[in-house]
Amino acid sequence: MKTGNSTTIATPQPVPIKANLADHERDLAALAERLDRRGQIIERVIESVRRFEVAVPSWAFGSGGTRFGRFPMAGEPRNLIEKMEDAAVVHRLTGGTPRVSLHIPWDEPDDPAALRQLAAEMGLGFDAVNSNTFQDQPGQRLSYKLGSFSHTDAAVRRQAIDHHLHVIEVGKALGAEAITVWLADGSNYPGQMSLRRSFDRVRDCLSEVYAALPAGWRLFTEHKPYEPAFYASVVQDWGSSLLLAQSLGDRAQCLVDLGHHLPNTNIELIVARLLGVGKLGGFHFNDSKYGDDDLTAGSIKPYALFLVFHELVQAERERLPGFKPAYMIDQSHNIKDPLEDMLQTVDQLQLAYAKAHLVDNDVLEVYQNSGDVVMAERILKDAFETDVRPLVAEARLRNGAALDPVAAFRASGYRARKVAERAAKAGHAPHVLNMTATPIPRSLALTLYGELDISVIDTKPLGRQPIITKIVSPNSMLSLIGVTLNGISNLNKTDSFFFFVQPMDKNKTVEKINNAYFMPGFR
């Protein structure tokens, strides 16, 4: 029914576990009652959370690394299709990630149109495409060691521009509508580059890319203070990013990556500034303690994340001109299962977004205007400290997703299946045989996804004979049949039985030779 090298997509069915559903309903009713007493309508917030969407990055589904090393985990996706498969799981379980943000050339599709079609079948689309001139690719003619757009050599700059034009072409074929440009350009030592002219060169190159934007497209510039340039990054802060966006034109906006700030930077203030001039274009969510740590969103500074969302939700409610944020996740998962990390992140974003919707902005403004510092702060704290988990779970449930995405993911057995499939060398993937007694949807779902209820058989049946399981490649099939037939001729002398399930005519019945049963399988 399902084989290791088939392209069948097995995503977990987000069927809530019944015992949890009753608890959930009680928790939701309690929260609804509490909010109602405070004059807040839970329905409105639930419906807002249902509409919240964030894109997942193609590069975050495998284990990431630090400069010290990378610890691969079993079952990681081996190619872009498998990354899309994992992305579909995140969307199925959270109901909030219908798009993938691709990194070119890390995840460049061979056939973008075919990938777009496949993604659509998985219920996915594409968000902003990302360029990469921060490392040299195999076979690349000129090196970016000393910069790309800021390089003193016009030929290097030309190569970097051509790469961006190519990324736009790929994005067009995928149905994306934006390109994100993050440049590693900068210097490690004083004197290495002209601080002023390097910025001018970046702006000139970007204007050529900007001029090539298809209709309806936007260009996002992403700032970062340091790393890999340790003395002076060309686009080091939001001010530089804003200068670029303003000089390029209306369709150029700034992208804020939460990890791209020095410690203690007030990021919500930066968000407010960019919102105020219609230049907040996109977001890269993650969390950090010290630098560009790429940790799970909300894992270190959940209050800061809430305060960022407070600015974003205000802009949304006020329908601020130019406010059409491309929410994206940019993380690197070093020690967690990348899928679980992603599910935690989306959950944290949904929670922060929901809490920001609980802020009564009118009352807040009254306190701000009357100079009541304590009450103004309490408005924010009250929203932040409200346990909105039942509300977010309800939004997911209504979107056909999971009450608790991580729990549902663990119950699904998805990773275990992928470990079996993806660990195999190409051409030697074990064929997985799913057996079900009654071919009704419920049993089939149970067999395929293993997610309704789980029966664990931990004791072998009495008198069970040893079973030999062997994986044989199709090339050795003939010799297998030879060995098998040899063995069968001896079967009548022993207590052994042999079952051979094979693709064959359904009308055929079970054949028996000695103690060997040849069972008809699916064609």
> Using CB under 5 A as the criterion, which residues of the chain lie in contact with Mn ion when the complex forms?
257, 284, 330
Angle in degrees, 0-180, between the axes of helices 238-248 and 267-276, rounded to the nearest 10: 20
CA 471 – CA 239 distance, rounded (Å): 60
Minimum separation from the CB atom of position 182 to Mn ion (A): 6
**Nearer Cβ to Mn ion, position 255 or 408?**
255
Q: Under DSSP, is residue 444 helix (H, G, I), strand (E, B) or coil?
A: helix
Other CB atoms within 10 A of residue 404 CB: 20
Characterise 53 by phi-psi region: left (phi > 0), alpha (psi -120 to 50), beta (else): beta
- Nearer CB in complex with Mn ion: 76/257: 257
Q: What is the length of the chain?
A: 523
Shortest Å, Cβ 206 to Mn ion: 17
State which residue, 328 or 397, has the beta carbon closest to Mn ion: 328
Least spacing, CB of residue 248 vs Mn ion, in Å: 19
Within 8 A by CB and 6+ apart from 425, the residues are none
Tell the smallest beta-carbon distance from residue 470 to Mn ion (Å).
Answer: 47
Q: Given the complex with Mn ion, which of 257 and 311 has the nearer CB atom?
A: 257
CA separation for the pair 278, 416 (Å, rounded)? 46
Q: Return the number of the residue (257 or 268) whose C-beta is nearest Mn ion.
A: 257
* Interatomic CA distance for residues 206 and 80, integer angstroms: 28
CB of 73 to Mn ion, least distance (A): 23
Identity of the residue, 260 or 422, whose beta carbon is nearer to Mn ion in the bound complex: 260
Residue number, 282 or 390, with CB nearest to Mn ion: 282
Secondary structure (3-state) at 432: strand
Q: Alpha carbon of 454 to those of 90, 166, 410, 446, 480: distances in Å?
A: 22, 49, 12, 9, 35
Q: Cβ closer to Mn ion: 292 or 451?
A: 292
Q: Using the structure block, give the residue that is written with the tokens 């190159």.
A: 205
Cβ atoms of 260 and 292 within 8 Å: the answer is yes
Quote the least distance from Cβ 330 to Mn ion, whole Å.
Answer: 4
The smaller minimum CB distance to Mn ion, of residues 134 and 230, is found at: 134
Q: What share of the chain is helix, strand, coil (3-state, %, to 5)?
A: 45, 15, 45
* Of 133, 193, 200, 181, the residue nearest 160 (C-alpha): 133
> Rounded to the nearest whole angstrom, what is the least distance from the CB of residue 479 to Mn ion in the complex?
53
Supply the DSSP string of 453-484, one letter for each residue: ------SPPTTPPP-------GGGHHHHHHHH
Shortest Å, Cβ 18 to Mn ion:
40
Cβ neighbours around 363 below 10 Å, total: 13
The nearer residue to Mn ion, 82 or 294, going by C-beta atoms, is 294
Smallest separation, CB 421 to Mn ion (Å): 30
Alpha helices in 361-465 (DSSP H): 361-370, 373-385, 389-398, 405-412, 414-423, 441-449
Is the CB of 13 or the CB of 130 nearer to Mn ion? Answer: 130
Smallest gap, in angstroms, from Cβ of residue 125 to Mn ion?
Answer: 20
Residue 125: helix, strand or coil by DSSP? Answer: strand
- Nearest approach, Cβ of residue 420 and Mn ion (Å): 33
Distance between CA atoms of residues 370 and 364, nearest Å? 10
